[in-house]
């Protein structure tokens, strides 16, 4: 059983990326246990805060969930053709202290997905993540790419995935990622 932690890079209640992770969890792909996490409660990174008070509890809780997982599934929005600040901020906090980077990230399987109201999915944000993942020493699954463009048509007003084609792509993506984790 591959224990995957899905992290949504959006704080918005109606986030398409959070909805995409919920849809993935609901697919019940054999051999996949998908747990979801949010970035709520993680403060902006501040070295003075870290030095004076240590790692914030919300970061410690997320770090414990990362360490308990077999792999990460990052659902990234795309803001201004790049990585959302809140998402990068959370990863920056998770990399503290730097001596723990190999334990938290080193060799950990990671995959990227994304949903966007625009026509290109989240291709530029996903590409921007590659340098960060490489720097942290993660094992990136490049065997699949899931870019949900025009997400407002794929999801209904309650955030349910209604597009059968996207649902099938998501199931295939998860099965491929599961197999990658197992290798």
Pairwise CA distance, residues 102 & 108, whole Å = 9
Indicate the pLDDT class of residue 181, thresholds 50, 70 and 90: very high
| Burial (CB count <10 Å: 0-12, 13-18, 19+), residue 18 | buried
| 167 neighbors 95 (Cβ within 8 angstroms) | no
**Res. 52: pLDDT tops 90:** yes
- Give the alpha-carbon dihedral of 37, 38, 44, 48, to 10 degrees: -30
pLDDT in tens, 11-32: 999 999 999 999 999 998 999 9
Domains of the chain: 2-182 (3.40.50.360)
pLDDT tens by residue, 122-160: 999 999 999 999 999 999 999 888 999 999 999 999 999
The pLDDT, as a whole number, for residue 145 is: 87
Q: What percent of the chain is modeled with pLDDT above 90?
A: 96
- Cα distance between the two ends of the chain: 13
pTM of the model: 0.96
Examine the pLDDT at 168 and tell me if it is beyond 90. Answer: yes
Instruction: Kindly state the average pLDDT of the residues 100-112.
Output: 98
Contact of 65 with 35, CB cutoff 8 Å = yes
């Amino acid at each position: 059983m591959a224990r995957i932690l899905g992290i949504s890079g959006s704080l918005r209640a109606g986030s398409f990326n959070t909805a995409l992770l919920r849809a993935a969890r609901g697919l019940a792909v054999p051999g996949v246990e998908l747990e979801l996490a949010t970035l709520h409660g993680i403060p902006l990174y501040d070295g003075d805060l870290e030095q004076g008070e240590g790692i914030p509890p919300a970061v410690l809780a997320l770090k414990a969930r990362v360490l308990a997982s077999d792999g990460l599934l990052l659902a990234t929005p795309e803001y201004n053709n790049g990585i959302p600040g809140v998402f990068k901020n959370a990863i920056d906090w998770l990399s503290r202290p730097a001596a723990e980077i190999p334990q938290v990230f080193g060799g950990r399987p990671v995959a990227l997905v994304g949903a966007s109201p625009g026509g290109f999915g989240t291709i530029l944000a996903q590409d921007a993540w590659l340098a960060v993942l490489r720097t942290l020493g993660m094992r990136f699954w490049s065997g699949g790419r899931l870019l949900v463009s025009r997400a407002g048509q794929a999801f209904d007003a309650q955030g349910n995935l209604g597009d059968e084609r996207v649902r099938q792509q998501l199931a295939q993506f998860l099965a491929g990622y599961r197999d990658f984790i197992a290798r």
